[in-house]
Copies of this chain bind each other. A is one copy, B any other.
Amino acid sequence: MDKKLVKVLDTTLRDGSQASSVSFTLNDKIRIALYLDKIGVDFIEGGWPGSNPKDYEFFKKIKEYSLEHARVAAFGSTRRKGVSVKDDVSLNSILETGVDTAVLFGKSWTLHVNDVLKVTKEENLNMIAESIDYLKDHGLYVIFDAEHFYQGFLEDREYAMQVVKTAEEAKADVIALADTNGGTTPDKVYDITSFVVRNVKTEIGLHMHNDIGCGVANTIMGVLAGARHVQGTINGIGERTGNADLIQIIPTLVLKLGFRALKGPESLKELKPLSRLVYELAGLPPNPFQPYVGDNAFAHKAGVHADAVMKNPRAYEHVDPELVGNSRKIVISEVAGTSNISSYLEHVGIKVDKKDPRLKSVLQKIKELENKGYSFDIAPASAVLIALKELGLYEKVFELKYWKVINENGLAVALVKVNNYLEASEGVGPVNAIDLAIRKALNNIFPEISKVKLTDYRVVLPGEIKNTESVVRVTIEFSDGERTWRTVGVSNSVIEASVEALVSGFDYFIQTSKKLKPLLA
């Protein structure tokens, strides 16, 4: 047995879909499952067939694909009280899916046995033993999730261990210790997991939640204590504050602690695109501050930090961002130094010494605009336009001379004049309509503009979010299929701010396409 191999069970499709505001369609689930298989996840918990009928369709549909490596698992509870296993709806619903792996949860905390299930402690043990037996008899690989194990252990150690021993005697293939309420501290997770590993021969797994912000750390401490099977979700989505985030756990196990997981280091490069896919399908905004994969995870804002990473990346980077499919970002803002700006210009192909006095005036201009509500760290393309102008490298190609939008009962129509081209378009909202109209006009001047797409649009009321009368800041992300860039606009009208960001975004594309190297996002 390979002592450094950690098996990974992903429950994004089951526990993840219990997150507030998250609801996956059948196609979403298939797309996520295929990606999980591609990167080498060992088990994909696809759903809870006894609880949600939509999950049946998933188990049926996924059989049409031949997975490379992953086993698809169905989730369900031990049999109900007073019902024999062969008549139990939940257990039979697992069998009906046709999977070869089950994740069966049972209670290991006296409080749940007494107050929620309302059965005797002995009956609960029978429910566990008989349910595992039944699934094993049908040839399934059984992962037993001991729910609330850590709380159970702290309040009634003897009973919690009886539950684990019962699962072992029933020949569960894995016994996963769950911190279902997510309130256990990492020191206790380490001690309790070590105790179980010493006293049980079955492979031990971990199922952590993040209610005290320790979901990731608790999983790591549990692996260090001897567990070799980890359960979690992509981006940590899940009930309440969520599950342990596999996106954060796996690189730490592999890059910092010498464990092996998935298909090895190559899989880690897929973590950022996988994280993005799940955010998109879950309808959640990506978290820019997310460890390893967030847009800011390797962003350097303070002047001294930016300066130091250029001398030696290890100075402020705990791992090479490329190992996890991410990249370094040097942030331009009022706390930046001229190093930040010169490094940014280098990305677009312009070499300027960081002591060049013109960079001081670029920085001055940026600080003035930030006082008015602009923010360039999230919209560096707008800062690059300012720098090009200050450095005398900007060439005016187009001008938006006039614009107007009319909204009436759901129809938005925009009229724009760019140079001498007057164009009209309709859209799903005023911004969409203006976007289309400007694009139509620009097409006459710079046809490559058709490659440019809007990929994100955000409105922030800086300072006092709650005051709808204050200045608004709009940031827009653009992509031409190869590179991505963001611009910013500020005004007391959201539409005017949007127009400013739109015009800057197209302008940036034209300016940099003409003479510059791609900008790193």
B405 with A408: CB separation less than 8 A: yes
Partner of A302, one of B239, B314, B454, B491: B239
B296 with A20: CB separation less than 8 A: yes
B240 with A298: CB separation less than 8 A: yes
| Complex Cα–Cα for A18 and B337 (A) | 13
Given contacts A217-B217, A335-B52, A465-B283, contact A412 B495 (CB under 8 A): yes
A185 with B495: CB separation less than 8 A: no
| Complex Cα–Cα for A252 and B183 (A) | 9
| Complex Cα–Cα for A220 and B468 (A) | 40
Nearest neighbor of A257 in chain B, beta-carbon distance: B185
Q: Is A403 an interface residue (CB 8 A)?
A: yes
Q: Is A17 an interface residue (CB 8 A)?
A: yes
| Complex Cα–Cα for A248 and B496 (A) | 40
Q: Is A338 an interface residue (CB 8 A)?
A: no
Q: Is A521 an interface residue (CB 8 A)?
A: no
**Which of A61-69, A110-118, A266-274, A353-361 lies at the interface?**
A110-118
Given contacts A23-B334, A291-B212, contact A299 B240 (CB under 8 A): yes
Nearest neighbor of A435 in chain B, beta-carbon distance: B468
| Complex Cα–Cα for A18 and B331 (A) | 10
| A318: chain B residues within 8 A (beta carbon) | 181-183, 211-212
| Complex Cα–Cα for A51 and B304 (A) | 9
**Which of A5-13, A91-99, A120-128, A425-433 lies at the interface?**
A425-433
Q: Is A450 an interface residue (CB 8 A)?
A: no
Q: Is A325 an interface residue (CB 8 A)?
A: no
| Complex Cα–Cα for A347 and B443 (A) | 56
Given contacts A248-B213, A318-B182, A318-B212, contact A241 B115 (CB under 8 A): no
| A339: chain B residues within 8 A (beta carbon) | none
A315 with B111: CB separation less than 8 A: yes
A212 with B256: CB separation less than 8 A: yes
Q: Tell me the A264-321 residues at the B interface (CB within 8 Å).
A: 279-281, 283, 285, 287-292, 294-305, 308, 311-312, 314-319
Nearest neighbor of A333 in chain B, beta-carbon distance: B23
Nearest neighbor of A496 in chain B, beta-carbon distance: B410
A124 to chain B, nearest CB (A): 15
Interface residue tally for chain A (C-beta within 8 Å): 124
Interface string of A451-487 (1 = CB under 8 A from B): 0001111011111111011001100000000000000
Q: Is A28 an interface residue (CB 8 A)?
A: yes
Partner of A466, one of B115, B252, B280: B280
| A317: chain B residues within 8 A (beta carbon) | 181
Q: Is A388 an interface residue (CB 8 A)?
A: no
| A432: chain B residues within 8 A (beta carbon) | 468
B185 with A491: CB separation less than 8 A: no
| A335: chain B residues within 8 A (beta carbon) | 17-18, 23, 51-52
Q: Is A390 an interface residue (CB 8 A)?
A: no
| A289: chain B residues within 8 A (beta carbon) | 19, 210, 236-237, 240-242
| Complex Cα–Cα for A404 and B287 (A) | 36
**Which of A32-40, A131-139, A161-169, A370-378 lies at the interface?**
A370-378
| A296: chain B residues within 8 A (beta carbon) | 19-20, 240-241
Q: Is A448 an interface residue (CB 8 A)?
A: no
| A304: chain B residues within 8 A (beta carbon) | 51
Given contacts A51-B335, A111-B314, contact A216 B212 (CB under 8 A): yes
Nearest neighbor of A181 in chain B, beta-carbon distance: B318
Nearest neighbor of A377 in chain B, beta-carbon distance: B20
Q: Is A411 an interface residue (CB 8 A)?
A: yes
A312 with B116: CB separation less than 8 A: yes
Q: Is A186 an interface residue (CB 8 A)?
A: yes
Q: Is A493 an interface residue (CB 8 A)?
A: yes
A410 with B495: CB separation less than 8 A: yes
B410 with A491: CB separation less than 8 A: yes
| A469: chain B residues within 8 A (beta carbon) | 428
Q: Is A397 an interface residue (CB 8 A)?
A: no
| A403: chain B residues within 8 A (beta carbon) | 409
| A494: chain B residues within 8 A (beta carbon) | 428-429
| Complex Cα–Cα for A384 and B412 (A) | 31
| Complex Cα–Cα for A460 and B281 (A) | 11
| Complex Cα–Cα for A319 and B241 (A) | 13
A377 to chain B, nearest CB (A): 5
| Complex Cα–Cα for A439 and B334 (A) | 40
A-B contact pairs, 12 of them (CB 8 A): A18-B305, A23-B370, A116-B312, A185-B220, A186-B217, A187-B220, A212-B252, A240-B299, A283-B473, A456-B465, A456-B466, A457-B468
Q: A212-B251, A214-B216, A412-B495 are in contact. List 6 more A-B contacts (CB 8 A).
A: A112-B315, A187-B224, A212-B318, A428-B469, A456-B466, A459-B459
